[in-house]
Amino acid sequence: MARVTVEDCIEKVPNRFGLVLLAGHRARAISNGAPLTIDRDNDKNPVVALRELADDAVQPEELKESIVVSLQRVDERNDAEEEAETLALLAEPQHMAMSEQELLRALQSDRDGGQEERY
């Protein structure tokens, strides 16, 4: 294939900044071992990613979804587990002497992953 240009890819992804994000994400995926959908032809990963987008070998919508999934933080606990943890925390004798404000702060800190807001 002839050299890939931005104009070849802009037809598929109209926003140049979005194109850079998608191609960069795909290039990192290739670096991490994702299978190639076209021949490499001695090109580096970013060029392969752009060629894949230009040739419709990789769909931009799939890459967008992949980016969103990679950035999401998933809390795998369900509501019943959280409630059981809260009840266990309240049942401990050391928490009986806590003020309501201290208990609320501890529960919020636990909910936020141990990161208290500091001003």
Structure tokens, 28: 């990192």
Q: How far is CA 77 from the centre of its chain?
A: 19
Residue 94 lies in a domain: yes
Residue 14 contacts residue 54 (beta carbons within 8 Å): no
Residue 117 lies in a domain: no
Residue 87 lies in a domain: yes
Mean pLDDT across the chain, nearest whole number? 83
Residue 118 lies in a domain: no
Tally of domains in the chain: 2
Residue 18's domain comprises 6-71
Residue 46 lies in a domain: yes
- Binned at pLDDT 50, 70 and 90, residue 96 comes out as low
For residues 69-95, one letter each, b for 16 or more C-beta atoms within 10 angstroms of the residue's C-beta and e for the rest, the string is eeeeeeeeeeeeeeeeeeeeeeeeeee
89 and 63 in one domain?
no
- CA distances for 64 relative to 7, 25, 51, 69, 98, angstroms: 20, 9, 17, 9, 47
CATH number at residue 26: 3.90.940.10
Structure tokens, 91: 């049942």
Residue 30 lies in a domain: yes
101 and 60 in one domain?
no
Residue 119 lies in a domain: no
Radius of gyration (C-alpha) of the chain in whole angstroms: 24
pLDDT, one tens digit per residue, over 21-43 is 999 999 999 999 999 999 988 88
97 and 43 in one domain?
no
pTM of the full structure: 0.60
pLDDT, one tens digit per residue, over 63-91 is 999 999 888 887 667 777 778 877 777 77
Q: Is the pLDDT of residue 119 over 50?
A: no
For position 112, what pLDDT does the model report?
A: 75
Question: Which residue from 26, 60, 56 is spatially nearest to 43, judged by alpha carbons?
Answer: 26
Residue 54 lies in a domain: yes
Computed from CA positions of residues 84, 85, 88, 90, in that sequence, does the dihedral angle turn out positive or negative? negative
